[in-house]
Amino acid sequence: MNKFTVIDETALGAVAPQRAAPGPKSSGVAMNFADSDIKAVRAAIATLYQGIVMTKTQAQEGWGIYKALIDSMSGSNTTKYICAIVPNDKMTPLGSQVPLAQLPWLNFQARTTKDPRIEFAGMPLKEQTYAITRNTILFDKIKLASEFEDKWVYVPDHLPLSVTVLLTKEDESFAPEGTVVSALELFQTILNLEVQ
């Protein structure tokens, strides 16, 4: 399984272990996630960030890195952006703009930056707005699976992904449970799809 986490927007290729997903309502029956599950998560993200157009800002080792500047609903003074990382993306030129719904990403991030010029490779991205819909599979509950010095990793009840929440302060801590949406909205969050 190929997975990676972009912590500094430069580290590609870190491999995460596969997990046996719990069955519905923790029945103990393992689920095998199908392509339709992966497509459902991508569609839910595209619906959450409906109308957002991503710009290819970087390419590394065949991976395309697409970013969009988004309105920060938290009211903080930081610049919030989303990032979709797409495999086998050598043919799309830098600066290309693609609707989020059309990107076959394996890694999706909601992040903040203090230096948008460097973050977006000097490309002038315009802020885009979005609205959260209540009827989404992204309200699936997530539970803490692992704690590390720099991140906490959560596993959703029913979705084929892992949710990594990055610690940004030394004494920061998070709740043991939440939802995918709350992680994306409130924290520096990385979603890795569980693909086989």
> Contact at 8 Å (CB) between 187 and 174?
yes
pLDDT at 79: 86
pLDDT of 54 higher than 90 = yes
Most confident of 16-20, 97-101, 171-175: 97-101
Nearest to 109 by CA among 161, 177, 50, 175: 161
Residue range 28-36: average pLDDT?
58
How sure is the predictor about 78, in pLDDT bands with cuts at 50, 70 and 90? Answer: confident
In angstroms, the CA 97 to CA 135 distance is: 28
In angstroms, the CA 118 to CA 123 distance is: 9
pLDDT of 183 higher than 60 = yes
Residue range 173-190: average pLDDT?
92
- Give phi and psi for 39, each to the nearest 5: -60, -35
How sure is the predictor about 8, in pLDDT bands with cuts at 50, 70 and 90? Answer: very low
Residue type, 12: L
Nearest to 16 by CA among 153, 138, 177: 153
How sure is the predictor about 31, in pLDDT bands with cuts at 50, 70 and 90? Answer: very low
C-alpha distances in Å from residue 80, one per residue of 13, 37, 109, 119, 181: 24, 28, 11, 11, 15
CB neighbours (10 Å) of residue 22? 17
Q: Which two tokens stand for residue 180?
A: 């995918």
In angstroms, the CA 39 to CA 112 distance is: 26
Residue entry with tokens 């609205």: 131
